[in-house]
Structure 1
């Protein structure tokens, strides 16, 4: 090699193909593993129903900028939202609760009846407990506040399709405070529904991870158990609490002061 010639790529400074030169870090591994749902060659299909045109445009721009997500359709009313549900397949429905011609709760119910495999994320300015709990009871798996800064709409979509629950950090903090703190000697809140609500210590631990938005693989890695074991615990939690989703389990546990 001539004295003034540059070494081939991958050999600079080391003479070993494929290694970076001294002092230079190797490229980071992909941040989005191939085993997770939502890949560029198989993006997550999303429907967006939001009557605020500006907010709808903001959310749409964020979703469109992520190649792991495909925005299948948008609507600004309950009527047009119903039309989207009837004409499009989807993986995630994002819906506002206040629509000009009705309520997003109606759309959540219809989506759950006809698209049982789909995930539902509420986008709302309403953060009172009654609206949050009702959305989860109807089958929502996420609840995002419109005025929250520390959240990502695209990340929320990817969380719910991979088994997580997407909740605005401010709401998650509120839920976690109810999950983790109870004054000495205090009794849990009165139980409005009779359920077999005794969880094991491991089930409580897993439920706390779910409340923080961790997916199955992450929980398994943190606890040193397999994803299959994590899912088995989660199924037991569903059975004991008589719920059908992770968001419902977290909501119920927070509401009752179960853990």
Structure 2
């Protein structure tokens, strides 16, 4: 996804008018992304989610009348095939973790350099994930390796279903590498990396990067 002839459709929700303008300009400047709608609150976001067809929801964690969590839960009912990327000034581990558990596939800091918003949209739309390496490492440290209850819900051979290459990619993703960076290190294309990621999600019966990394951590895969 993300060709000029068929750009990725993005719905943007942020209560800061200036930030919305900056992100909107970046998305419109990239021919691979198309901004189809904007909203400034949870209430407006709910309406926009119903009205617009989109591939990626780009949403601020803290909105004027609530938090992004409400929209992350809401949009799944109307756009189950769409992906979500959260944005925030602060990398609050608790908030970001909850966003991932609700199905978000990426995080972008508002102080990111130009080009990060469009890149994050392209990554998640193509089955990858977008997260800063520092945040990925911090979140990994929060996983409870002693939580046997969760791992017991899985079949004993779940981890064995992953190929050596899939385990290698999962370890790199858990360390915070993007699909492009993983591909560069393994001498494969980012599209091939994303295909492996989709297979990993399917085999582990998870929906998000955070869930896959948590499972792999509990099983000692890295």
2:64 paired with 1:124: no
Normalising to structure 1: TM-score of the pair? 0.68
Cα RMSD between the aligned structures?
3.3
2:169 is equivalent to residue 213 of structure 1: no
Preserved contact between residue 46 and residue 71 of structure 2 (Cα < 8 Å)? yes
CA distance, structure 1, for counterparts of residue 217 and residue 16 of structure 2 = 31
Are the structure 2 counterparts of residues 87 and 244 from structure 1 closer, same or farther at C-alpha, using a change threshold of 3 Å? same
Give 4+ residue runs of structure 1 displaced > 6 Å after superposition: none
Structure 1 unmatched ranges of 5 or more = 1-36, 180-187
1:118 deviates by 0.4
Corresponding residue for 1:114?
A: 78
* In structure 2, C-alpha distance between the alignment counterparts of 1:118 and 1:233, rounded to whole Å: 17
Deviations 1:198-257 (A, max 9, x none): 455443212134441216x94896369x94x984675355443x4213353235546887
Tell me how far apart the structure 2 counterparts of residues 251 and 144 of structure 1 sit (CA, whole Å).
20
2:11–2:36 contact (8 Å) kept in structure 1: yes
Q: Which has the higher contact order (CA 8 A, sep 6+)?
A: 2
Measure, in 2, the Cα distance between the counterparts of 1:230 and 1:155.
Answer: 14
CA distance in 1 between partners of 2:7 and 2:196 (Å): 28
1:161 Cα deviation (Å)?
Answer: 1.1
Please, which of 37, 43, 46 is the counterpart of residue 73 of structure 1? 37
Query: Is the 2:128–2:194 contact (alpha carbons within 8 Å) kept by the matching residues of 1?
Result: no
Higher Rg of the two aligned structures: 1
The answer for the alignment partner of 1:60 in structure 2 is 24
**Contact 1:191–1:256 (CA under 8 A) maintained in structure 2:** no
Query: For 1:150 and 1:256, how far apart are their aligned partners in 2?
Result: 38
> Which of 182, 187, 190 pairs up with 1:222?
187
Q: Deviations over 1:5-58 (max 9, x none)?
A: xxxxxxxxxxxxxxxxxxxxxxxxxxxxxxxx1111111100000011121111
